[in-house]
Structure 1
Amino acid sequence: MDQITHAIPPHARTYRYDEVDRDFLAARIAEFRDQVARRLSGELTEDEFKPLRLMNGLYLQLHAYMLRVAIPYGVIDARQMRQLGQIARRWDRGFGHFTTRQNIQFNWTKLEEVIDILQALADVDMHAIQTSGNCVRNVTTDEFAGAAKDELVDPRVYAEILRQWSTLHPEFTYLPRKFKIAITGAPHDRAAIKVHDIGVTAKRGAAGAIGFEIWVGGGLGRTPIIGTKLFDFVPEADFLKTMEAVLRVYNALGQRDNIYKARIKILVRDLGDEFRRLVEEELAAMPAGHYRLDPAIVAAIRAHFAPPPFADLQDDPPRYRRALEADAAFATWARNSTHPHRAPGYASVVVSLKPIGGIPGDASADQMEAIAELAEAFSFGEIRVSHVQNLVLPHVRQEDLHALWQGLKQHGLATPNVGLISDIIACPGMDYCALATARSIPVAQRISERFASLDRQLDIGTLHVNISGCINACGHHHVGHIGLLGVDKRGEEVYQITLGGSATNDATIGELIGPAFSYDSVVDAVETLIRTYVAHRSPGELFKDTYRRIGPAPFKEALYAPA
């Protein structure tokens, strides 16, 4: 357990740096300052600079450098959110883009200003380390962690343990490929654990002891695969030891000579049951007590995530009920944008970053600063970033929901579309990304505009549309109820459609429905899919369930039948 060195102050509910952290960041920034200066002077070529900048979260995109900032397990406080807004205003074009890794990206970074941005991040205990490269990336989790009514174990505790263990781990800094871990602590999977390199469900055994269900080898991209369950219940003491063993096997056997076969999902697929045997062999070879998760360290970190001082309240207080009855628009927003809270009289609020015609996941500097103020006023200063590119205020009194809604409306943040067809996941696509082969953002905007009617969205019900601009699948199109993949076909952007995907407990890779559609016709194709669904659904049946019940034939017929 010598990898974990810092207990966390019990008064804070996001990780707070100590002097060791701050000294390290200062040294890292100074080192990168010299490297940037050598690149600007021409002493380093772009090829020579590339591995150095990637270690600091800096990418070279189509039009500019992009800086990806780490938000560990999606947890951020008001002070940090306010600083992100100021960075967007001063050094970007007034916006930031929240990603499916629960991070934020600044897409218009100037190389000569990147050190100033990193220093501004360090001033509020943030950085961009391990947001790129072949290392363990930001560990993601349930955006309602520590607040959800159905939660059995707070996954933030173990996400923080994983963060400390994996940061600059000497064995896992140069893995065969990037490595992504997700963890949840509720029976309902809200972290998409089965499509990660390692997926973890924290749960309780028969006697209440905490343990972990471990999945390995999930992932999307060129070869989408649902993960394989490795262990049903790993005791808490053996949690890190097991993670270490999995990564050691992957690090030793992953295909470093082929970027398309380098992810752990290919190794797990090819080895089958042999992979489990190798992990068990690695575990058996570790010295007794090696990487044992000390209960004292777990307790210290858990104390950090102690609940805020909730008031003694009752659910559905009179002021809240009166507001619901008096204001239909507020009632619709409250129904779509709140999530059940473990504390009576409280709710978690999802702040949609998907306004009709907007760019999914984008927030302006003004909006980030407004979210910071509203978090301080209504949510103990806490904010979460979700892996579906929205924000969450986790702890809001129900009696304050109407006032919060009014505050959100003033800043264009009260779109009541959470979970509906316009709540689209989309990667930046060819508008920004150097790897993309098609646009994602304009397609998302056009779909949301086509289905702008809230009454129609509510009639359609829960429906997840995911869009990727290339085969790397950063928009998670494979697990969308409707997934769109943009590809280049002889110089033309076309969009393949998959149906029936899911990223939750029933994780499923969507099925390719048929030939691709042009940029001009793809929104009409989505319209056709929705009309077909509405015509065939049973009462209360979701799109994915209708598709699975009736199969692809009616959808294919509607899409491809001669006019």
Structure 2
Amino acid sequence: MNAPIGHYQYDAVDRDFLASRIEEFADQVGRRLSGALTEDEFKPFRLMNGLYLQLHAYMLRIAIPYGTLDSRQMRMLAEIARVHDRDYGHFTTRQNIQFNWIKLEETPEILRKLASVDMHAIQTSGNCIRNVTSDQFAGAAADELLDPRIHAEILRQWSTLHPEFTFLPRKFKIAISGSPQDRVAARFHDIGLVTRPGADGKPLFRIFVGGGLGRTPFVGKEIFDSVPEEDLLMTLEAIIRVYNAHGRRDNIYKARIKVLVEALGIEAYRAAVLAELAQMDRAHYRLTPEMVGAIRARFASPVLDAPADAAARLEADRRRDAAFDRWVHANTHPHRAPGFIAVTVSLKPTGGSPGDATSAQMDRLADLADSHSFGELRITHMQNIVLAHVRQDRLFALWSELREIGLGTPNVSRIGDIIACPGLDYCALANARSIPIARKLSARFGDVALQEEIGVLRVNISGCINACGHHHAGHIGLLGVDKRGEEFFQITLGGRSDEKAAIGEILGPALREDETVDAIARIVDRYLSLRDMGESFLDTLSRLGDAPFKEAAYEAA
């Protein structure tokens, strides 16, 4: 079998580590099942292995480092869904996958199956550095300055079981974009890295700290604007050391780095980091070209060779089929290689549950990755899947096959491309169910011509203030709240997660579910009636303010 494309190739050291970790956890599971460990005693062990206890069952969160999978790994996820869950999995905004109906006694077997394809669930929970996320078009995007998967892998290896950062004040999230275009919501992370060109042509890193959502949302602040590759690890280590030393541990709600940065101010935080850097041995932390090259060599790169007429054949297919043309317009992204294109497969079918995929769909996606994209798949932080290297002359065939499995919806970045957490259907922390209202909104705006007319408009839904659905960052955000035992939704407008990152503003009082769906419809209708030629929803909102949309939302309340 050829080496899988797109991500770091494990060696004997990696596999031995996973095997020993699994056997250790299997012993802990056995002691919990026998009663030798109470649930409270077992909790820190299971969290270190990605296992949560939710409303109805255990949930296992599996790591997909920087969102990249190969086809054999996707087939294993399909097997786990089929054999150990209820025949589906939920892809998350952290580029991971969650299985919500796991039996505790089966977790060691599941982890062994994952290890057989070089996967695990380490650092997907707990107060540690979580899965490092990356640009879903890494290695393919035309505007890329460097392939961020290489540096995400370096950060993964650096952070895994880091002795100083195993028990941070709170969970810690890092994202990296290899392009000046922020496709990773960098400014809403504890640390966000965005690449920019240096004067000598070498990429530099802009570093943002203190971003995050939840009950106290903040847009991250730029702490450094020109960090060279060789100083990346040392700089990140210093930033996290300051947080580890001074972050609050007496209050879980005030323990994130965003609270510390806000309390100190970015200038004082930068000064503390510079003081830390001054004490560190630069030679010890220096990320040399040889080190980066050694990691890059562990990635297998596809040979991108397309026929000279590939683009012309794609254009002919688009002229011949209007439905295909609409899908190409919404669901593809320019590729760096002539004759290729990157494809986003929407996991948001009309009326469906955002981010969910059945075992049959996972198996077929693995097959399509083999036949159309060198066996490689990417999970996006928007809860979709990318096939990054598709020949343009084969795009029509891919689209036809995606339609057969219900994954050919042309709605990426449209109102039907809803981001949502699992909500009260699964999560013990939630106040409201995210999935039913997502399905209703998806059905309400299911007409693809209407979605095309509306244009780019992101809807994000969170079932509680912890904001796992990133509602603060949605152009339209919905937050589930509990009012005397009844589910309501608070509407926010104007959030965004790109280079102009902003937190959505609350529009007014929370509404019941059906009232909320109707209110969103009126907001969209008002936008369509007020927009100038070519204006996006955010453009119109910026020009007019929220008053006309508030009037529309509450006119029937």
TM-score normalized by structure 1?
Answer: 0.97
Cα distance between partner residues in 2 of 1:185 and 1:314: 28
Counterpart of 1:55? 48
Give the match for residue 394 of structure 1. 388
Superposition deviation, residue 287 in structure 1:
2.1
User: 1:550 maps to what in 2?
Assistant: 544
Deviations 1:30-57 (A, max 9, x none): 1111111111111111111111100000
- 442, 447, 458: which is aligned to 1:453? 447
Name 1:496's counterpart in structure 2: 490
1:69 to 39, 62, 65: 62
In the alignment, residue 135 of structure 1 is paired with which amino acid? C
Structure 1 residues 562 and 402 mapped into 2: Cα distance closer, same or farther (>3 Å)? closer
Partner Cα separation in structure 1 for residue 129 and residue 323 of structure 2: 43
Structure 1 residue corresponding to 2:523, chosen from 519, 529, 532: 529
CA distance in 1, matches of 2:106, 2:282: 49
Q: Which residue of 2 aligns with 1:339?
A: 333
1:407 aligned partner:
401
Which secondary structure does the structure 2 equivalent of 1:304 belong to? Answer: coil
Which TM-score applies when normalising by structure 2?
0.98
d(CA) in 2 for partners of 1:239, 1:226? 22
2:357 to 360, 363, 383: 363
- Distance in 1 between residues matched to 2:320 and 2:342, nearest whole Å: 22
Question: Partners of 2:497 and 2:188 in 1: how far apart?
Answer: 7
Partners of 2:417 and 2:467 in 1: how far apart? 18
SS in 2 for 1:400: helix
Structure 2 residues without counterparts, runs of 5 or longer: none
What pairs with 1:18-29 in structure 2 (closer than 5 Å)? 18-29=11-22
Amino acid at match of 1:178: K
Residue equivalent to 1:267: 260
Give the whole-Å Cα distance in 2 for the aligned partners of 1:306 and 1:28.
27
* Equivalent in the alignment of 1:157: 150
Q: How does 1:69-148 map to 2 (within 5 A)?
A: 69-148=62-141
Name the CA shift for 1:312/1:330 in 2 (closer, same or farther; >3 Å): closer
CA contact (8 A) 2:214 2:467 kept: yes
2-side partners of 1:193 and 1:219: how far apart? 10
| Correspondence for 1:32 | 25
Alpha-carbon shift at residue 364 of structure 1 (Å): 0.4
Instruction: Give CA deviations for 1:410-462 in whole Å, capped at 9, x if unaligned.
Output: 11111111111010000000011111111100000000001111111111111
Q: CA deviation at 1:547?
A: 0.8
Shift of 1:561: 3.6
Q: How many Å apart are 1:382 and its aligned residue? A: 0.8
**Is contact 1:218-1:227 (8 Å) kept?**
yes
Q: How far apart are 1:331 and its partner, in Å? A: 1.3
Q: Does 1:281 align with 2:275?
A: yes
Letter in 2 for 1:524: D
Kept in 1, the 8 Å contact 2:306–2:391? The answer is: no
CA contact (8 A) 2:4 2:376 kept: no
Once residues 312 and 34 of structure 1 are traced to their aligned partners in structure 2, the CA distance between those partners, rounded to angstroms, is 52
Q: Secondary structure of the residue that 2:14 maps to in structure 1?
A: helix
Given candidates 409, 420, 427, the residue that maps to 2:414 is 420
Do residues 194 (structure 1) and 187 (structure 2) align?
yes
Which stretch of the first structure deviates more once superposed, 314-323 or 214-223?
A: 314-323
Matched AA of 1:99 = T
User: How many angstroms apart in 2 are the aligned matches of 1:505 and 1:212?
Assistant: 14
1:293 aligns with 2:302: no
The Cα offsets for residues 66-106 of structure 1, whole Å up to 9 and x where unpaired, read as 00000000011011001100111010000000000000000
User: Residue by residue, what CA displacement relative to the aligned partner does 1:353-379 show, whole Å, maximum 9, x if unpaired?
Assistant: 000111000000000010100000010
What corresponds to 2:322 in structure 1? 328
Amino acid corresponding to residue 253 of structure 2 in structure 1: Y
Conservation of the 8 A alpha-carbon contact between 2:434 and 2:461: yes
1:560 paired to 2:551? no
Is contact 2:7–2:149 with CA below 8 Å preserved after alignment?
no
Distance 1:316 1:10, change over 3 A: closer
Change (3 A) 1:44 1:11: closer
Q: CA RMSD in A?
A: 1.3
Q: 1:456 to 1:90 in 2, by over 3 A?
A: same
Cα distance in 2, alignment partners of residues 560 and 526 from structure 1: 10
Give the drift of 1:10.
8.9
Distance in 2 between residues matched to 1:472 and 1:562, nearest whole Å? 30
My pick for the range that moved more, 341-350 or 408-417, is 408-417
For the 8 Å contact 1:78–1:376, the answer to whether it is kept is: yes
2:7–2:300 CA contact under 8 A, matched in 1: no
Superposed displacement of residue 536, structure 1? 1.1
Show the counterpart of 1:308: 302
The alpha carbon displacement at 1:327 in A equals 1.4
Whether the 8 Å contact between 1:153 and 1:204 is mirrored in structure 2 is: no
The residue correspondences of 1:407-486 to structure 2 (distance < 5 A) are 407-486=401-480
Quote the Cα distance in structure 2 between the aligned partners of 1:521 and 1:331: 35
Tell me the CA shift for residue 302 of structure 1. Answer: 2.4
SS of aligned partner of 2:514: coil
Quote the Cα distance in structure 2 between the aligned partners of 1:368 and 1:525.
35
Deviation sequence 1:453-505 (CA, Å, 0-9, x none): 11111111110000000000000000100000001111111111100110011
Identity of aligned residues (%): 64
CA 1:78/1:511 → structure 2, altered by over 3 Å: closer, same or farther?
same
Cα contact 1:153–1:203 (8 A) shared by 2: no
Matching of residue 166 in structure 1 with residue 154 in structure 2: no
Comparing 298-307 with 504-513, greater Cα deviation is found at: 298-307
Matched length: 555
* Cα distance in structure 2, aligned partners of 1:533 and 1:314: 43
- Shift, 1:303, TM fit: 3.1
How many Å apart are 1:11 and its aligned residue? 7.6
Deviation at 1:316, TM superposition (A): 5.3
How far did 1:306 drift?
A: 5.9
Report if aligned partners of 1:143, 1:386 keep a CA contact under 8 Å in 2.
yes
For residues 520 and 331 of structure 1, what CA distance do their matches in structure 2 show? 34
Unpaired runs of 5+ residues, structure 1, are: 1-8
| Matched residue type, 2:423 | G
CA distance in 2 between counterparts of 1:484 and 1:467 reads: 5
In structure 2, how many angstroms separate the alpha carbons of the residues matched to 1:312 and 1:360? 34
Q: Distance in 2 between matches of 1:295 and 1:58?
A: 37
The separation in 1 between residues aligned to 2:416 and 2:312, in whole angstroms, is: 32
Q: Residues of 2 paired with 1:210 and 1:302: CA distance?
A: 16
User: Shift of the alpha carbon at 1:12?
Assistant: 4.7
1:3 paired residue number: none
Equivalent AA in structure 1 for residue 531 of structure 2:
R
1:312: Cα distance to partner?
Answer: 4.8
